[in-house]
Amino acid sequence: MNPTLLDTLPRDRLPALLQAMPKAELHIHIEGSLEPELIFALAERNGVTLPYPGVEALRAAYAFTDLQSFLDIYYAGASVLLKEDDFFDMAMAYFRRAAADNVVHAELFFDPQTHTDRGVPFETVINGLTRACQTAREELGVSALLIMCFLRHLSEEAAFDTLAQATPYLDRITGVGLDSGERGNPPEKFARVFARCRELGLRLVAHAGEEGPAEYIRAALDVLNVERIDHGVRCVEDPALVARLAAQRIPLTVCPLSNVKLCVVGTMADHNLATLLDAGLCATVNSDDPAYFGGYINQNFLEAFAALPQLNARHAHTLARNSFDASFVDGDTKGRWRDRLDAVFERAAS
Ligand code: HPA
Ligand code: ZN
């Protein structure tokens, strides 16, 4: 594509372009897409009593001070998920939002331990989610993969037990990740389980450098052998690490609204997204837990670009291209999506 197009596009055309450009979402916890309305609908369907009188009261509780204050409410919200259809309905609601945001591919995190620890069989979770992934492809034209996350506040033994439960379904699971409370739960705790997942041919990612230090990013790379870092924004505290991430082209799945809502940064104007891109890092923009953090992927793009005047059409194109490059699909598919991206930019500039 003509490189000068990217430098001449007026800033006021950016919001429409951010909306229209095809993109992949690589950091979305599907349980974090449960909107309060659906939480209450599922609670009623399943006879679950919630500790909030209604949708407004629940939404009013979404004032987080850190990651843990969010996780407490997030796990409470997930308690309404009991049946295969609940997981299907949750994921389909996300896919419809994603399609409206021109997401052509999504890699969904799911947290089996949040459900199996409540007595919901692993099979129920995986069947609902895989049926939704198939329906999304057929009815919405959105491609999707599943990444199973281990909860890092739980033990290594619990992670191995979850992997054993997943074993009959590994053909439906592309990779594994590591989420939940980061501080005090360093990557090393899961070295052996990640080594086993690698032997099984699973792709590897991990949350690191969200609330935890840059050292956790190094450990995720060196000890867990992950291919992508989820969040990773605290890498800037270690310039040698930034240089390494750029040289090795390790993708970071950045989630701007999440970082603001969980007080990882003060305001969106303080976010380092532009710094990461200008340092040559393969950063992407994602929604993390969109029902809790104030918006889906396009809202993240719009708010970040509105608050950071350095970001321009070239950054927008780079972010969308990075999302395809960093995805776990084959090279031909990435190439087709990159061509679609270029076509949208060329049309916008003409
Ligand atoms: N960080 C860690 N764990 C999570 C998150 C997050 O942003 N969202 C859901 N689980
Ligand atoms: Zn996350």
Ligand minimally distant from the alpha carbon of residue 288: 2
Spatial separation of the C-alpha atoms in residues 61 and 56, rounded to whole Å? 9
> Which ligand has an atom closest to residue 34 CA?
1
Kindly list the structural domains of the chain, giving each domain's residue range(s) and its CATH number in brackets, ordered by start: 10-345 (3.20.20.140)
Q: With a cut of 80, say whether residue 2 has pLDDT above it.
A: no
Phi, psi (rounded to 5 degrees) for 116: -65, -30
Whether the per-residue pLDDT at 106 is higher than 80: the answer is: yes
Percent of the chain residues past pLDDT 70, beyond the cut: 100
Query: What pLDDT does residue 260 have?
Result: 98
* Distance from residue 70's CA to the centre of ligand 1 (Å): 8
Cβ-proximal residues to 30 (8 Å cutoff; 6+ apart), any chain: 87, 90, 91, 94, 108, 109, 110, 129
Distance CA 131, CA 136 (A): 9
Q: What is the pLDDT of residue 295?
A: 98
Beta carbon of 152 within 6 Å of any ligand 1 atom: no
- What's the 232 CA to ligand 2 centre distance in angstroms? 11
Please give the pLDDT value at position 29. 98
31 Cα nearest atom in ligand 1? 9
pLDDT in tens, 17-53: 999 999 999 999 999 999 999 999 999 999 999 999 9
For 187-223, the pLDDT digits (tens) are: 999 999 999 999 999 999 999 999 999 999 999 999 9
pLDDT of residue 7: 82
Handedness of CA 37, 46, 290, 124 (dihedral sign): negative
Is pLDDT of 138 > 80? yes
Instruction: Compute the average pLDDT of residues 72-90.
Output: 96
Largest CA distance in the chain: 59
Could you give the CA distance from residue 226 to residue 244 in angstroms, rounded to a whole number?
14
Q: How far is the CA of 40 from the centre of ligand 2 (A)?
A: 23
Alpha-carbon gap, residue 111 to 29, rounded angstroms: 8
- Please tell me the predicted confidence (pLDDT) of residue 201: 98
Q: Distance from the CA of 207 to the center of ligand 1, in angstroms?
A: 8
What's the chain look like in SS3? Answer: CCHHHHHHCCHHHHHHHHHHCCEEEEEEEHHHHCCHHHHHHHHHHHCCCCCCCCHHHHHHCCCCCCHHHHHHHHHHHHHHCCCHHHHHHHHHHHHHHHHHCCEEEEEEEECHHHHHCCCCCHHHHHHHHHHHHHHHHHHHCCEEEEEEEEECCCCHHHHHHHHHHHHHHHHHCCEEEEECCCCCCCHHHHHHHHHHHHHCCCEEEEEECCCCCHHHHHHHHHCCCCCEEEECHHHHHCHHHHHHHHHCCCCEEECHHHHHHCCCCCCHHHCCHHHHHHCCCCEEECCECHHHHCCCHHHHHHHHHHHCCCCCHHHHHHHHHHHHHCCCCCHHHHHHHHHHHHHHHHHHHC
Q: Does 32 contact ligand 1 (Cβ within 6 A)?
A: yes
Q: Please give the order of strands across the beta sheet that includes 283-285.
A: 23-29, 103-110, 143-151, 175-179, 203-208, 228-231, 252-254, 283-285
Mutate to test the pocket of ligand 1, among 25, 28, 29 (most ligand atoms within 8 A of CB): 29
The pLDDT of residue 6: 84
Q: Which residues are catalytic?
A: 210
- Per-residue pLDDT of 299-335, as tens digits, reads 999 999 999 999 999 999 999 999 999 999 999 999 9
Ligand 1 site, residue 232, Cβ cutoff 6 A: no
Handedness of CA 162, 184, 213, 193 (dihedral sign): negative
Q: From 28, 31, 67, give the residue whose CB has the most ligand 1 atoms within 8 Å, as the site to mutate.
A: 67
Q: What predicted TM-score, i.e. pTM, was given to this entire model? A: 0.98
CA 107 to ligand 1 centroid distance, Å: 15
Tens digits of residue pLDDT in 277-291: 999 999 999 999 999
pLDDT tens figures, 318-327: 999 999 999 9
Confidence bin at 9 (pLDDT 50/70/90) = confident
Spatial neighbors of 109 by CB under 8 A, at least 6 apart, are: 27, 28, 29, 30, 147, 148, 149, 177, 179
Cβ(317) – ligand 1 distance below 6 Å: no
